[in-house]
Structure 1
Amino acid sequence: MQYYPYLVPVVILIVGPATWVEKFPEARGTRQSPVDIVTSRASSGGSAPPLVWRYSVNHPRSVVNPGYCWRVDENGYDSELRGGPLGSDVYKLQQWHCHWGSVNGEGSEHTVDGRAFSGELHLVHWNTSKYNSFTEAAGQPDGLAVLGVLLMVGSKHDELDKVVRLLPYIQHKGDKVTFSEPLNPANLLPKRIAYWTYPGSLTTPPCTESVTWILFKEPVQVSAEQVRLNLCYYVNGKNV
């Protein structure tokens, strides 16, 4: 499917934990993430090329607890992301995960005009046109592309609920459960495909500056119960 962005701004305000620089020198870099998106300072990208993606629905997937979040591994299986700020390079989906806070409404990594959201979903892709593996790509300036989706309380999200229902079974680091039903990553994205984009970094150590961020402007709704279950998953101390 092809989508044309309504706005492709460049964001220049940089934020992030200052304490990481002692052990991870790249955290001193000039393109650290996450950022606060100041909409009054965002510039239009003009006639940017369409952003194109394709994801497999029926291949086997598992949700795993790596010790700091929940994560769904895709490993590049039959997927494609290109266009927009990525040009003609083809990126494949490696994994997707979600960030939640200990307080409802304060879980997103990126903020918009200083406002945080309940959570933030990240679909992590790597550049298969230039690099031979995810590990190699993760160390290169154009190696990764992350689709960021802001989450806010509203209606229940059916696709995300397929993950939420399995959280009780992955409470400990290393726990892993295979999905028993098809799952379509495209259904995690908002209907209105307008986005901000900027060259950034991994948001956690080693803070490598290898990410082209594509953050959708329209938040996706999740139910209060889905937020509560995710918060319980984090507050229980199994994740950071």
Structure 2
Amino acid sequence: MAQSVWGYDSGNGERGSGTPGGTGLSAAEPGRRSLCLCLSGPERWHENYPLAKGDNQSPIEINSKDVRHDSSLATWHASYDPGAAKTILNNGRTCRVVFDDTFDRSVLRGGPLTGAYRLRQLHLHWGSSDDHGSEHVIDGVKYAAELHMVHWNPKHGNFAGALKQPDGVAVVGIFLKVGKTPKPEMKRILEEIDNIKTKGKEAPFQHFDPSILFPKSRDYWTYHGSFTTPPCEECITWILLREPIEVSSDQMAKLRSLSKNAENEPVNPLVDNWRPPQPLKGRIVRASFK
């Protein structure tokens, strides 16, 4: 049985939009910039981040029989400016693409959301083999990887403010499955892997429209949850797309060629950077489809 084995270095937060050693830290945890917890795994995060045992934690396992179809859920729409893409980086825990979010140049609207949410970054979670790696689980099925597009609600003033509000952040989750017809658009990200092999590496990544990564179907599940890395703020409206996109086994191997260590340190493969499903605790998962 696959297990998530990654520790957590709070110096490189999943939420940030900047460089690994700088603004990559969660804006909600400025005082923890240099603290390396190096815990054995997600099951111990709550020892330093109590919210990790909160009532609205992510990811979750979605069981179709328990999902509620909601006919009032609208179609979601993304309007992304390719010029907003800035850099791609390896922060030791994921591969991340960073976007300019200083104004509404790349936004997500509709679906379960009220108003426009600005795109801040996208990143991926993957496993040590092709049979697991996604964070959310659908009817017992784990996919090879899961891509997260992170947006925030500008009505809260800034990203740090959005992290403190239940409607502060919206994440579009896309499942990646290994298949015979890999989505060619993934090549744009993967061809940059060689430039960010080790922790702390960052490279220019411009003129990229992430909407090319969306599947054809706009069907989705939605629920209220959290970030899947400490401090696990419960500020996210999740929009999980029903249709996965395909990648090749070679493309997945490319992701697994990243190292979680710096250039002058021994190679340590960056794999299994996923958090196991968390208890639903009475939350309702809604679907835009029957």
TM-score of Structure 1 vs Structure 2, range by shorter chain: 0.7 to 0.9
Structure-2 separation of matches of 1:69 and 1:198: 24
What does residue 26 of structure 2 align with? none
**Post-superposition shift, 1:43?**
0.8
- Pairing 1:132–2:157 present: yes
What does residue 167 of structure 1 align with? 193
Q: Count residues in correspondence.
A: 222
What does residue 225 of structure 1 align with? 250
User: What code does the residue aligned with 2:243 have?
Assistant: E
Q: Contact between 2:225 and 2:235, CA under 8 Å: does it hold in 1?
A: yes
Normalising by the residue count of structure 2, what TM-score does the alignment of the two structures yield?
Answer: 0.72
- Describe the superposition over 1:203-236 as per-residue Cα deviations: whole angstroms up to 9, x where unpaired: 0110110110000010111112111111222585
Which stretch shows the higher mean deviation, 103-112 or 69-78? 69-78
**Post-superposition shift, 1:160?**
1.6
Structure-2 separation of matches of 1:33 and 1:117: 16
What does residue 11 of structure 1 align with? none
- Pairing 1:38–2:63 present: yes
Structure-1 separation of matches of 2:236 and 2:100: 17
Question: Residue 226 of structure 1 aligns to a residue in which SS?
Answer: helix
What does residue 82 of structure 2 align with? 57
1:29 pairs with 50, 54, 66, which one?
54
- Pairing 1:158–2:184 present: yes
Question: Residue 117 of structure 1 aligns to a residue in which SS?
Answer: coil
User: What code does the residue aligned with 1:188 have?
Assistant: L
Q: Contact between 1:105 and 1:119, CA under 8 Å: does it hold in 2?
A: no
Normalising by the residue count of structure 1, what TM-score does the alignment of the two structures yield?
Answer: 0.87
**Post-superposition shift, 1:110?**
0.4
Which stretch shows the higher mean deviation, 63-72 or 130-139? 130-139
Once the two structures are superposed, the pairs formed by residues 5-154 of structure 1 within 5 Å of their partners are 17-76=42-101, 78-87=105-114, 89-128=115-154, 130-154=155-179
Q: Contact between 1:171 and 1:238, CA under 8 Å: does it hold in 2?
A: no
Question: Residue 176 of structure 2 aligns to a residue in which SS?
Answer: strand
Change (3 A) 1:36 1:206: same
**What is the alpha-carbon root mean square deviation over aligned residues?**
1.8
User: What code does the residue aligned with 1:82 have?
Assistant: R
- Describe the superposition over 1:26-52 as per-residue Cα deviations: whole angstroms up to 9, x where unpaired: 112111000001011111011322312
What does residue 6 of structure 1 align with? none
Structure-2 separation of matches of 1:82 and 1:59: 17
Structure-2 separation of matches of 1:60 and 1:40: 39
Q: Contact between 1:173 and 1:238, CA under 8 Å: does it hold in 2?
A: no
Change (3 A) 1:93 1:60: closer
**Post-superposition shift, 1:61?**
2.3
Structure-2 separation of matches of 1:68 and 1:95: 14
Question: Residue 159 of structure 1 aligns to a residue in which SS?
Answer: helix
- Pairing 1:211–2:242 present: no
User: What code does the residue aligned with 1:122 have?
Assistant: H
User: What code does the residue aligned with 1:138 have?
Assistant: L
Structure-2 separation of matches of 1:81 and 1:167: 27
- Describe the superposition over 1:174-228 as per-residue Cα deviations: whole angstroms up to 9, x where unpaired: 2111136x32111111110100000000001101101100000101111121111
Among the aligned pairs, what percent are the same residue?
Answer: 40
Question: Residue 70 of structure 2 aligns to a residue in which SS?
Answer: coil
Structure 1: state its 5+ residue gaps. Answer: 1-15
What does residue 5 of structure 1 align with? none
Question: Residue 218 of structure 2 aligns to a residue in which SS?
Answer: coil
Q: Contact between 2:197 and 2:257, CA under 8 Å: does it hold in 1?
A: no
Question: Residue 193 of structure 1 aligns to a residue in which SS?
Answer: coil
